[in-house]
Chains A and B, each alone.
Chain A
Amino acid sequence: MPDDVLALFRTRLGLEEVPPEGPFVPPETLPDIVAALKEMGFLLFLYCAATHWPATENRPEAFTVAYGLRRPGPGSSTARLRVRIPADGSIPTLSGLFAGADWQEREQYDLVGIHFEGHPDLRRLMLPEDWEGHPLRKDYAIDTHHFPWR
């Protein structure tokens, strides 16, 4: 990641070291930090990818959502950051900042079941509207029945 992004993460999050795969950002400060990054020229919303972490004896169930932004133009660079939320948590939507985030957040809602707060139209994107469950969660069996076709 470029130096100005590392400096932003250090001052805003009070971090010593920024891991290369992106720092963990508290969900409530996410819109501010992403807005600051957009000011700095990160105009392209690359990805929003969620992961489900099932509960084990050491930790409760949790989700992480990874974001990637790109600064286009000569010497283009990428900024990466992550958000970790508990099982019943939610994340503020970025669809007000980036129009492209709208469908990516709908996809993550569809497949992993992340709730994006303030999203204008949080419906399933790819699976049928009457689908039950979120198939990319670790506790979803890959061969779950779906009648009448399965």
Chain B
Amino acid sequence: MAVDETSRTFVHPLYGWLEKIPGLSVGLTTADAVLSWGLEHSLWVFPMATSCCGIEFMATMTSRFDMDQFGTFTRPTPRQCDVMVVAGTITVKMAPRVKRLWDMMPEPRWCVAMGSCAISGDFYRNLYAVVPGVDTFIPVDVYVPGCPPAPDHVHAGMHVLMEKIRQVRKGTFRPNADPAAREGLLRPSIPRIGDPDRDPALSRAQAEAAFRMDPGCQVTPRSEDERDVP
């Protein structure tokens, strides 16, 4: 089994051999269609749920929203799963564990980043302990934006994933690998310390905000013109 990590295509080693036998390709195409149909309609989900998006994901899996109708349901172990749904903020301490669970999942496998935190870190993006998006360490197939995404958005995301699997199996899938767009996604919104384009005024403002307080737990009142909010 060989998997190309950049385009996420899945090639069975038997295929090359079997395709050489004359007349077998028709049968193989049919078998492949059946196999794809089976793959995309039995997506067992490993819920990598770490925070509030996890609660929404639990709601999505209840009978009210009924993901079972697509053959999608959760399993408690990565060994039995096809899809990892990363639902929630991933911290620096959690990231190696997520990576390890991802490595335990058998090929072929897919990853859905659910919620702004899993996509980009959201408003925790520039925090010391938060990873700015799970795609910095595992390949993500489908992004479901929202904070949190509603259950029907997760449904839509799973349908997009099914469509992607179908296209990848048919060989018609073309990933959008625009490097400029990718870099814009990965760059933090506030330049970090050591960044050449970090504004020195930002460091000064952060330091001043920290130094303005006194040990009596009293905040020195700021003058009118210093206030951020009028």
Residues of A within 8 A of B (CB): 21, 51, 53-54, 56, 59, 62, 64, 84, 126-128, 135, 138-146, 148-150
Q: Interface size bucket, B side?
A: 20 to 34
Instruction: Tell me if A149 and B131 are in contact (CB < 8 A).
Output: yes
- B93 lies within 8 A of A146 (CB): no
Q: Identify 13 residue pairs between A and B in the complex whose beta-carbon atoms are under 8 Å apart, listed by A's number.
A: A51-B215, A53-B213, A53-B214, A59-B215, A127-B93, A128-B92, A135-B129, A138-B211, A141-B203, A141-B206, A143-B128, A145-B193, A146-B92
User: With a CB–CB cut-off of 8 A, which chain B residues contact A143?
Assistant: 126-128, 188, 190, 192-193
Report which B residues bind A (CB closer than 8 A).
92-93, 95, 126-129, 131-132, 136-137, 188, 190, 192-194, 203, 206-207, 210-211, 213-215, 217
Q: With both chains docked as a complex, state the minimum distance between the C-beta of A113 and any C-beta of chain B, in angstroms.
A: 14
Chain A residues with CB below 8 A from B128, complex form = 135, 140, 142-144, 146, 150
Grouping DSSP codes into helix (H, G, I), strand (E, B) and loop, the A interface class, with mixed when no group exceeds half, is loop
A145 vs B131: C-alpha distance when bound (angstroms): 11
Cα–Cα, bound, A127→B93 (Å): 6
Given A56-B211, A128-B93, A145 and B132 contact (CB-CB distance below 8 Å): no
Of the residues B126, B132, B137, B214, contact of A142 by C-beta under 8 Å: B126
Minimum CB–CB distance for B133 against chain A, Å: 10
- Across the interface, do B127 and A142 meet the contact criterion of CB distance under 8 Å? yes
Task: Report chain B residues within 8 Å CB of A135.
Answer: 128-129
Q: Which residue of A lies closest to B137 (CB)?
A: A149
- With a cutoff of 8 Å between Cβ atoms, the chain A residues found around residue B217 in the complex are 21, 51, 64
CB pair B92 A149 closer than 8 Å: yes
Q: Are B92 and A145 in contact (CB under 8 A)?
A: no
Residues from chain B with Cβ under 8 Å of A62 in the complex: 215
Q: Is the beta-carbon distance between B210 and A139 smaller than 8 angstroms?
A: yes
User: A54 is contacted by which of B93, B131, B192, B210 (Cβ under 8 Å)?
Assistant: B210
Picked from A128, A138, A150, the residue with its CB within 8 Å of the CB of B131 is A150
Asked, given contacts A59-B215, A150-B131, whether A144 binds B193 with beta carbons under 8 Å apart, the answer is yes
Docked-complex contact A138 and B136, CB < 8 angstroms = no
